[in-house]
Chains A and B, each alone.
Chain A
Amino acid sequence: MNVSVQFRKDGDIIQGFVEGELDTYTASMLREELDSIQLLEGLSIELDLSNVSYMDSTGLGVFVAFYKKVMKQNANLKLVALSSRLTRLFEITGLSELMEVESVKKV
């Protein structure tokens, strides 16, 4: 079981496609991937979580830590394409009020 992130850079925007299950075992892999982004002022980071099949508080913790780091650099972070499960997790923990979170588009 692994977590991978594929990055795509377009000017001031970095897109990251996260894939896998996020738990205590894989959280450090995600943290390392996110820490590899060179944060510059004005940078917009968009993380697509549509292929995250499982997440618990350890995954949330990684995103919170990264969000703090991004804010400190005056950059932006947005989490997009969340499944209904992930959306629920961000809602019950109150995180969707703090961070920019977007659910997967309803067809």
Chain B
Amino acid sequence: MRAFDYIEIRIPAKPQYVSVIRLTISGMATRVGFSYDQIEDLKIAVSEAVTNVVQHAYNGFEDGEIVIGSALYQHKIEVMISDFGSSFNFEDVKSNIGPYHEHNNIELIREGGLGLFLMETLMDEVRVNNEGGVTVFMTKYVTREQVGEDVGQIST
């Protein structure tokens, strides 16, 4: 028996379908057993990836499609978002992302570029493949109730 169930969805690269993917991801994540907050994180990360394709990959070309493939494991989910349009240079984009800093001049505050940053912050693992089109692979693990992530070893 396979260790995961695979679900694939194909949508037109249009903004009105991003929310449809969000709903679907939410349903799948519930199946896997993610918490409310983790599901909300997943929804944002996947929406960012799909939005990226909708906004950039097709450049107004009408018939673009996005494939969203999800592998549901016992304690994790892997999501692949793929387009067949133009690819972008991941390193270039990556050098331009990150949170805002307080000392930034108001005029210079970016209005975009947070998508990739959010994906990397909200998921456990993000990989991008630029061959042909763009494929984003993201992984998130189910975390159990925790006693703070940074708690070091407690001596007895």
Contact = CB atoms under 8 A, between A and B. Distances in A.
B111 A65 contact: yes
A1 B19 contact: yes
B102 A94 contact: yes
A73 interface: no
Interface string A82-100: 0001000100111101100
A24 B102 contact: no
A64 interface: yes
A25 B16 contact: yes
A15 B83 CA distance: 41
A24 B51 CA distance: 6
A94 B104 CA distance: 11
A49 to B, nearest CB: 15
Contacts of A1: 16, 19
Contacts of B37: 85
A21 interface: yes
Contact of A92 (B40, B109, B121): B121
A60 B51 CA distance: 14
Contacts of B104: 98
Contact of B102 (A57, A67, A98): A98
B18 A24 contact: yes
Given A24-B51, A68-B106, A93 B18 contact: no
Interface in B1-47: 15-16, 18-19, 22, 37, 40, 43-44, 47
A61 B18 contact: no
Pick the most buried of B40, B54, B109, B112: most chain A CB atoms within 10 A of its CB.
B109
Contact of B118 (A54, A56, A67, A68): A56
Interface of B: 15-16, 18-19, 22, 37, 40, 43-44, 47-48, 51, 54-55, 99-102, 104, 106-107, 109-112, 114-115, 117-118, 121
Interface of A: 1, 21, 23-25, 54, 56-58, 60-61, 64-65, 67-68, 71, 85, 89, 92-95, 97-98
